[in-house]
């Protein structure tokens, strides 16, 4: 029933979009109708989109891996060594609040190739995953932790036996949000200088006033982000069958 309602809502949105594109925005062409965007997608074809999507996915994927790895390591250190949490958590928050568009040019000057895009994608995901991992690690059952302590186990035994398992549901919640965030960071990095990628293709289409192609690229980027979000959520469901939904 929920899926039917969702499909009906999506079809209704597309119908309104089509109507507005052919009436209100017909003269300005700022918002083309979905049918025109789909026609342009078919004209451009796989040969145009795949090389650009591959470059962006590579940058976003590497940034997602590095950023999440850093966040998980920091979360473990914060729980195991509380004294360092305040200072390092402040730095993590600052990295989250920094405008990516502002530090992007600096990274583009300092690093060559895809490195600056990967760093921007990593920065975009660190704080989100860090919060999810911290919440999960601290949600461990107190009785289980006391039992480990009663048998002579220390902090690291508690971490390995109890906290890591308790952390997984919250961690995957953070990883889901991190997936589209990494895509956004990579595309912004491409805006600041790259040879290929969805961001580069979007800039070129904007400069050539190819409105339908620009919208098509945006929809492809959105679809890839949604797919990454869905796949991460599916992995979380498969790996944490005990967690409430």
Q: What is the CA radius of gyration of the chain?
A: 22
pLDDT of amino acid 118: 93
Query: For residues 80 and 159, is the Cβ–Cβ distance under 8 A?
Result: yes
Q: Which residues contact 150 (CB under 8 A, 6 or more apart)?
A: none
Whole-number Å distance between alpha carbons of 143 and 162: 10
| Residues 199/50, Cβ–Cβ less than 8 Å | no
Number of neighbouring beta carbons within 10 Å of residue 207:
9
Q: How far apart are CA 120 and CA 123, in angstroms?
A: 5
pTM of the model: 0.88
Instruction: Name which of 62, 58, 226, 67 is nearest 132 in CA terms.
Output: 67
Measured in whole angstroms, the distance separating CA 241 from the mean position of its chain's CA atoms is 23
Which 8-state DSSP code applies to residue 23? T
CA-nearest of 159, 155, 177 to 167 is 159
Residues in the chain, overall count: 245
Q: Which two tokens stand for residue 112?
A: 């060559």
Q: What is the pLDDT along the chain (245 residues), one digit of tens a residue?
A: 666 777 788 888 889 888 888 888 777 778 888 898 999 988 888 889 999 999 999 999 999 999 999 999 999 999 888 888 887 888 888 878 878 778 888 888 888 888 899 999 999 999 999 999 999 999 888 888 888 888 888 888 888 888 988 899 999 999 999 999 999 999 988 888 778 889 999 999 988 888 899 999 999 999 999 999 999 999 999 998 877 76
Q: What is the distance between the alpha carbons of residues 46 and 125, in angstroms, rounded to a whole number?
A: 29
Residue 180: per-residue pLDDT: 94
Alpha carbons 190 and 56: distance in angstroms, whole number? 8
45: left (phi over 0), alpha (psi -120 to 50) or beta: left
- Give the model confidence (pLDDT) of 55-91 as tens digits: 999 999 999 999 999 999 999 999 888 888 887 888 8
Tokens of 56: 């962006």
Assigned token pair, 174: 């953070």
Q: Angle 17-225-115 (CA atoms, 0-180°, nearest 5)?
A: 130
For 206: left if phi > 0, alpha if psi spans -120 to 50, otherwise beta; the answer is alpha
Assign domain 35-239 one CATH number from 3.40.430.10, 3.40.50.970, 3.40.50.300, 1.10.3720.10.
1.10.3720.10
Q: What letter does residue 159 receive in the DSSP assignment?
A: I
């Amino acid at each position: 029933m929920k899926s039917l309602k969702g499909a009906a809502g999506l079809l209704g949105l597309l119908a309104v979009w089509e109507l507005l594109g052919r009436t209100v925005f017909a003269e300005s062409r700022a918002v083309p109708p979905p049918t025109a965007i789909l026609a342009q997608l078919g004209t451009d074809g796989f040969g145009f989109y795949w090389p650009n999507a591959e470059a962006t996915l590579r940058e976003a994927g590497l940034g997602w891996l590095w950023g999440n790895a850093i966040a998980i390591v920091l979360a473990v250190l914060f729980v195991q060594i509380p004294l360092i949490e305040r200072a390092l958590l402040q730095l993590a928050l600052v990295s989250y609040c920094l405008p990516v568009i502002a530090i992007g040019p600096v990274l583009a000057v300092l690093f060559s190739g895809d490195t600056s895009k990967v760093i921007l994608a990593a920065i975009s995901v660190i704080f989100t995953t860090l919060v999810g991992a911290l919440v999960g690690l601290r949600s461990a059952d107190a009785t289980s932790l006391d039992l480990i302590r009663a048998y002579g186990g220390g902090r690291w035994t508690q971490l390995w036996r109890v906290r890591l398992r308790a952390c997984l549901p919250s961690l995957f919640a953070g990883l889901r949000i991190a997936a589209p965030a990494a895509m956004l960071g990579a595309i912004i990095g491409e805006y600041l200088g790259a040879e290929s990628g969805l961001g580069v293709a979007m800039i070129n289409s904007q400069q050539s006033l190819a409105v339908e192609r620009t919208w098509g690229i945006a929809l492809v980027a959105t679809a890839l982000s949604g797919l990454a979000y869905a796949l991460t959520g599916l992995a979380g469901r498969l790996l944490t069958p005990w967690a409430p939904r």
